[in-house]
Amino acid sequence: MIHNDPRSDSASSILQCIERARSVLIVVSRPVDPDCVGTALAAQWWLAQQGKQSCGVSFFEIPPSMHTFPDIDAIEVMPLETFAFEPWNAIMLVDGSSWSQFFGLSWRDVIQHLDMNSIINIDHHQPDDICAALSRRCLNRTTSSTAQLFYETFLAPFHIKPPARVAEYLYRALLYDTRHFRNEYHKGMYLFAEKLIELGVDHAQAVEVSYDRKVFDFFIWALTRTKYIADIEATLLTITDEDIRELERTFGPSWTDCDTVYKEVFLRQTEGYAYGLILTQNRDGTVKLSWRTRSTGNRVSIRRCATAAGFHAGGHYHAGGGVFYGSLRDAEQKLLAAIREELATHRHLPHGTNG
């Protein structure tokens, strides 16, 4: 039961907050993906069973790749600048560990007007500024997905069996965040999958994947611009503002939806290269970092390297992202220097010790 769980303090605080609330606003994180959406939709169902009013919102556009997700229309895209938080008794932040993942670059302006005692967070990424601020109302554990964390904390201990449709939300979340179980192993993830299938999930339908031709066209485009940095076993793709204009002309405004194969295959599985990096020049003067690393072997933490280089970075050990305030050139130089420094230290540690 939940009272014997090491996370019981956080879980109990969240349950008490929800019990007091008549209405709960569920905010999904950026990037808007199957894990945050699937968990949010499952949370909406769970709250409805308790007679609570709830609404799922995103303050960022939902990418076209998510338009076929079951019941995606239940997540409303809302303008942050004019959104009224006051009517909501509780605010649930799902699948993100930093304020900026939910409220963008203006997050400081947003949270100063919120009642911090009404905010709860459910997430499986490495802890960041939200956990520091919310303490006991932040449920954070490294696991396969936020969907698994939600199920194991709020459904399974109370013998709550969601209908097949809700189980499908959670199953698609699990498949996405584990990349169909190709990512690192987390305790309980296969049992979680089995339980969801028992609840009626159609596995064959859930794993059916079709890629738009644009995904492979982008893959070719990216390969021709990728740098191979052998001394740190890294590949690097830098995307300038001029590149973005070309990508928008070729692939449309949602060109970032076309990077799936490049990210999940090339960045992770190129022989001789353990670290895959993408730096993108944003039009607001910042630089976006995305990384993937192999799930096996003795690897350094790219998040730690990025933080040392001046990025605000978050995510998982083997996959994540960050933002750098400065030029693309400075971002590249500082990141590669930090990785080289970390590797120099790491190579002198005993085998099997993560940096």
Helix axes 164-178, 34-49, angle to 10 degrees: 150
Indicate whether 353 belongs to any domain: no
Which has the closest alpha carbon to 55: 23, 21, 29? 23
Q: How confident is the model at residue 4 (pLDDT cuts 50, 70, 90)?
A: very low
Residues 251, 189 within the same domain: no
**With bands split at pLDDT 50, 70 and 90, how would you rate the model's confidence at 29?**
very high
For the residues 29-33, what does the mean pLDDT come to? 93
Q: Is the pLDDT of residue 223 over 80?
A: yes
User: Do 83 and 36 share a structural domain?
Assistant: yes
Q: Which residue has the tokens 């949270």?
A: 111
Q: Decide if 50 contacts 17 (C-beta within 8 A).
A: no
Cα 254 versus chain centre, distance:
18
Residue 345 confidence (pLDDT): 86
Reduce the DSSP state of residue 278 to 3 states and report it. strand
DSSP-assigned letters across all residues of 93-158: EES-SSTHHHHGGGHHHHHTTS-GGGEEEEE-SPP-HHHHHHGGGEEE--SS-HHHHHIIIIIGGG
**Residues 258, 256: Cα–Cα separation, whole Å:** 5
In 202-240, which positions are buried (b, 16+ CB within 10 angstroms) versus exposed (e)? eeeebeeeeeeebbeebbebbeeebeeeeebbbbbbbbe
Higher pLDDT, 345 or 88: 88
Mean pLDDT, the chain, integer: 91
The pLDDT confidence band at residue 51, using thresholds 50, 70 and 90, is: very high
What's the CATH code of the domain at 336? 3.10.310.30
Per-residue pLDDT, averaged over 135-159, amounts to: 95
Stretch 344-355: mean pLDDT: 57
Indicate which CATH number applies to the domain containing 140: 3.90.1640.10
Contact 335, 351 (CB under 8 A): no
* Tens-place pLDDT, residues 338-347: 999 999 887 6
What local confidence, expressed as pLDDT, does residue 210 receive?
A: 81
Percentage, residues of the chain above pLDDT 90: 78
Sheet of 312-315: strand order equals: 227-229, 234-239, 275-281, 286-293, 319-325, 312-315
Q: How many domains does the chain have?
A: 2
- If we measure between CA atoms, which residue out of 116, 131, 124 comes closest to residue 17? 116
Strand ranges (DSSP E) for the chain? Answer: 23-28, 53-58, 75-77, 90-94, 119-123, 138-140, 227-229, 234-239, 275-281, 286-293, 312-315, 319-325
**Per-residue confidence band for 154, with pLDDT thresholds at 50, 70 and 90:** very high
pLDDT band per the 50, 70, 90 thresholds, residue 7: very low
Higher per-residue pLDDT: 132 or 351: 132
| Cβ burial, residue 355 (10 Å; 0-12/13-18/19+) | middle
pLDDT of residue 314: 84
348 pLDDT band, cuts 50/70/90, is low
334 domain residue, yes or no = yes
Whole-number pLDDT of residue 298 = 65
pLDDT at 79 over 80: yes
149 domain residue, yes or no: yes
Q: What residues contact residue 275 under an 8 Å CB cut-off, 6+ apart?
A: 232, 233, 234, 235, 291, 292, 293, 299, 302, 339
**Of 156, 180, 206, which marks where a domain is finished?**
206
User: Which domain-ending residue is among 150, 172, 206?
Assistant: 206
Residue 347: per-residue pLDDT: 67
pLDDT band at 179 (very low <50, low <70, confident <90, very high): confident
Encode pLDDT of 230-263 as tens digits.
Answer: 999 999 999 999 999 999 999 998 899 899 899 9
**What are the backbone angles phi and psi of residue 328, rounded to the nearest 5°?**
-65, -40
Contact 88, 24 (CB under 8 A): yes
Any domain includes 196: yes
Range(s) of the domain holding residue 126:
2-206
The whole-number pLDDT of residue 65 equals 84
Judgement on whether residues 52 and 177 belong to the same structural domain of the protein: yes
286-293 and 319-325 strand pairing: antiparallel
Does residue 352 lie within any of the structural domains? no
**Are 178 and 305 within one domain?**
no
| pLDDT value for 311 | 95
pLDDT tens for residues 323-340? 999 999 999 999 999 999
The mean pLDDT of 11-24, rounded to a whole number, is 96
Whether 136 and 180 map to the same domain: the answer is yes
3-state secondary structure (DSSP) of residue 292:
strand
Using alpha carbons, list the distances in angstroms from residue 4 to 1, 8, 123, 124, 242. 6, 7, 20, 20, 55
Domain end point (choices 156, 174, 206): 206
Q: Examine the pLDDT at 282 and tell me if it is beyond 60.
A: yes
β-partners of residue 286 are 325
CB 348 within 8 A of CB 309: no
Among the ranges given (4-8, 80-84, 122-126, 169-173), the one the predictor scored with the smallest mean pLDDT: 4-8
Q: Any bridge partners for residue 54, and if so which? A: 24
The rounded distance, in Å, linking the Cα atoms of 168 and 203 is 9
The answer to whether the CB of 115 falls within 8 A of the CB of 106 is no
